[in-house]
Amino acid sequence: MISLPWLDEDTSGFPPVEAALRDPDGLLAVGGDLSPARLVQAYSLGIFPWYQEGEPILWWSPSLRMGLFPERLVVSRSMRKLLRKGEFEVTFDRAFARVIANCAAWRPERTATWITDDMQRA
């Protein structure tokens, strides 16, 4: 039997990420809300919400993570050549709501999305 901490709207913190389950990898807590304060706290700790519509919010911090360190990024010669052509523009923080909406959009190859309306509003 799996026992996870339940977060209510009054819970101000998260359990330590070291307490996350190994199976399923990274499941840490259940419940809470998607308030900006909670999301900022979660993301700053390496925790993120991931759940399906109609389920309680599940908070995750998997052991296997991807880290991107811009100062260590090696751009291949062919990619540099492509970028010099000016056919592409690399930007960030320009269309966040549109990116999220497109990621959540229905596609024939999947039946559901974890990017619920509540997640989009959050």
Confidence band of 1 (pLDDT split at 50, 70, 90): low
Q: How far apart are the first and last CA of the chain?
A: 31
Alpha-carbon distance of 95 to 93, in angstroms, equals 6
**For the chain, percent of residues with pLDDT exceeding 90:** 52
Tell me the average pLDDT of the chain.
89
Confidence band of 67 (pLDDT split at 50, 70, 90): confident
Domain ranges within the chain, ordered by starting residue:
6-121
For residue 118, pLDDT over 90 is answered with: no
- Residue 112, CA distances (Å) to 36, 103, 109, 115 in order: 24, 11, 10, 9
Q: 6-121, which class in CATH? A: alpha beta
pTM equals 0.74
Cβ pair 14, 59 in contact under 8 A: yes
